[in-house]
Structure 1
Amino acid sequence: MSARTRRQKALAAQGSEGEESPDGNGAVLTPSKKRTPSKKRSRSAVRQEKKKENVFLFAPNLIGYSRIVLAIASLYYMPLHPRTCSLLYSVSCLLDALDGYAARYFNQSTTFGAVLDMVTDRCSTACLLVFLSSAWPRWAIVFQGLISLDLASHYMHMYAMLSMGGQNQSHKNVEATRNWLLYQYYHSKVVLFICCGLNELFFIGLYLLSFSSPTLSPSLLQPVADAQPSSAQPGNPAHPAPASLFASPWSAGALELARANKIDSYWPWVVTSISAPVMLFKQFVNVVQLINASQWLAEGDVETRRANKKK
């Protein structure tokens, strides 16, 4: 066998064992110098794994932040500017449906986003009911009860879902065997949107009626207390400028003056009347949710106590 034949066999054996191959200059590429496509893909995958997603900048969460800004702005205008407040509050409520759509469209559904959405809803409604309590003190206990029911039912429901269903369990994933009404309420987007939307619309209607309906707010027909007598002659000391009557724009007198700037009560009455049945149904769902969550937590306590006794 010639030397050339032996050299070719040796190179072939090295290529089969060490995956070596000659380059253009006749040199042998060792495995350490060779980069296969599979290694390139693996390193790219590692770099992608190291790059973390910023959940706080997801599209639905950005919409949630805008809802908070609009809600705070509506609270700022709430005492004196009912039209501006109602517009800002309504837009904030409508964005509640948009963030859910964005989460499904961009595949960015997160636990943080779900909690942010629920907390924003609860806080916004509570703040509006606090204002209604101050507008109608004799009905304050009703509004305080609605605030307590709303917070208690959602908190206990979410806590029950987390403790009994697991950390990654959404509070909307209610099984039909657990409660048929809650299953229909949370699994039908149309039902959920109508109930939540008309519930907020009812309270917005009440808010507008506090500025427009003397029937519900008799103080609208009464003069502001401690107001000086007016005179038909401009510049008369008995007819001071409004700024001197109410030095502070946030005083009780300024609030009454703003409420005396009547707005037509027809549409607020229509909105309140239409949405009232849905609001009552929403409160009934809250009661059912509270009872169901309490029963679920009690069942978990019984199972835990039974397991501890067997140890």
Structure 2
Amino acid sequence: MPQRQTRQQAAKQRDTPASSDEEREAKLNGNGTAHQDADTSDDAPRENIFLFWPNIIGYFRIVLAIASLYYMPLHPRTCTVLYSVSCLLDALDGYVARIYEQSTKFGAVLDMVTDRCTTACLLVFLSSAFPRWAIIFQGLIALDLASHYMHMYATLVVSGSDSSHKNIDKSKSFILNLYYTNKIVLFIFCALNEVFFIALYLLSFSSPLLSPHLIKTVENTSGEALQPGVQVNTSILRQIFPDPFSAAALELARANKMDSFWPWVIAGISFPIMFGKQIINVVQLINASKGLADVDIKARKELGLPRPKPKKA
């Protein structure tokens, strides 16, 4: 009889579901069944990736960037503040993503697209502010977009969709590995790259050396002097802004009365880092191209290509 009760108790213990503490422990210990039930349960709420905190910061960055573009042609100080805050938030969203465990592929792409678009818009403005150097700025836009697009696409093709574009093998590229794995190096290069272009933007409002029209008067540009009480014809008004592609034009540049000393200092300090960032873009483009070419070679071999040419009789 006691033996029969012992067997019944054992059977009852097997049929009794585990307590909540035991279930929690099983999940923490990596129990496959428990983990699968937690992930695939139909009752589990669906997460809204678009409302993750890092992505909300990304949306705020976009708003600030658009606002800076609105003020860019006329108000250099306001534009600089808005643009700089938008760039600085780029470092915050990654930190928030790690704290709240909200790192997502959508967030990574949103972050990269925002960076590329804001920088491109600033370079477009610099192209109009300094028409003689427009081809340089256009080349920088093309290099930046091509390098990052090729790199992202190569990462998906070579390493798969689960791999991050920041996972660079040191044997393939020491420079890219250091750039993407060292957060301090990444921040310095990205930040000073933007700082250099912001300094050029400020110089377009303050430096007669880069923008000679800033020191031209209406009399010098039109050959006529404005007399009080005399009606001014439209031809003179048109020459108040002799260069329609200039960043400041005469009236706004004088109204802002900016000093070019600090923009020149900032530009001089940040130029080497900006130049190094462009070298990294070139290395990234070449590395991604080689990775895609290796995939093509492997795929062609599997297909038996190139096919041997038939021998001539």
Same fold (TM over 0.5): yes
8 Å Cα contact 2:155/2:164 also seen in 1: yes
Matches within 5 A, 1:159-174: 159-174=153-168
Give the counterpart letter for 2:169 in structure 1: E
8 Å Cα contact 1:229/1:239 also seen in 2: no
TM-score under structure 2 normalisation?
0.79
Structure 1 pair 17–209 and aligned structure 2 pair: CA distance change class (3 A): closer
Q: 1:284 aligns with which of 279, 282, 297?
A: 279
Give the counterpart letter for 1:294 in structure 2: S
Structure 1 pair 48–107 and aligned structure 2 pair: CA distance change class (3 A): farther
TM-score under structure 1 normalisation?
0.80
Which has more radius of gyration?
1
8 Å Cα contact 1:228/1:239 also seen in 2: no
Mapped to 2, the partners of 1:152 and 1:212 lie a distance apart of 32
Taking only aligned residues, the RMSD between alpha carbons, in angstroms, comes to 3.3
Give the counterpart letter for 1:132 in structure 2: L
Q: Please name the residue that 1:22 is paired with.
A: none
1:195-250 per-position Cα deviation (integer Å, ceiling 9, x unaligned): 0000000000000000000000111122356798423x4xx24479xxxx69xx9x
1:81-120 per-position Cα deviation (integer Å, ceiling 9, x unaligned): 0000000000000000000111111111111111000000
Q: 1:275 aligns with which of 249, 270, 284?
A: 270
Q: Please name the residue that 1:71 is paired with.
A: 65
Q: How many residues align?
A: 278
Matches within 5 A, 1:138-287: 138-223=132-217, 229-231=225-227, 233=228, 236-238=229-231, 252=244, 255-256=248-249, 257-261=251-255, 262-287=257-282
Give the counterpart letter for 2:190 in structure 1: C
Q: Please name the residue that 1:81 is paired with.
A: 75
- The question of 1:130 aligning with 2:124 is answered yes
Task: For residue 303 of structure 2, give the secondary structure of its aligned residue in structure 1.
Answer: helix
Unaligned runs of 5+ in 1: 1-7, 20-30
Q: Please name the residue that 1:100 is paired with.
A: 94
Structure 1 pair 230–278 and aligned structure 2 pair: CA distance change class (3 A): same
Q: Please name the residue that 1:308 is paired with.
A: 303
Unaligned runs of 5+ in 2: 24-33, 308-313
Task: For residue 63 of structure 1, give the secondary structure of its aligned residue in structure 2.
Answer: helix
**Identity over the aligned pairs, expressed in percent?**
57
Deviation at 1:308, TM superposition (A): 1.1
Give the counterpart letter for 1:302 in structure 2: I
8 Å Cα contact 1:103/1:109 also seen in 2: yes
Mapped to 2, the partners of 1:17 and 1:184 lie a distance apart of 59
Structure 1 pair 36–193 and aligned structure 2 pair: CA distance change class (3 A): closer
Give the counterpart letter for 1:74 in structure 2: S
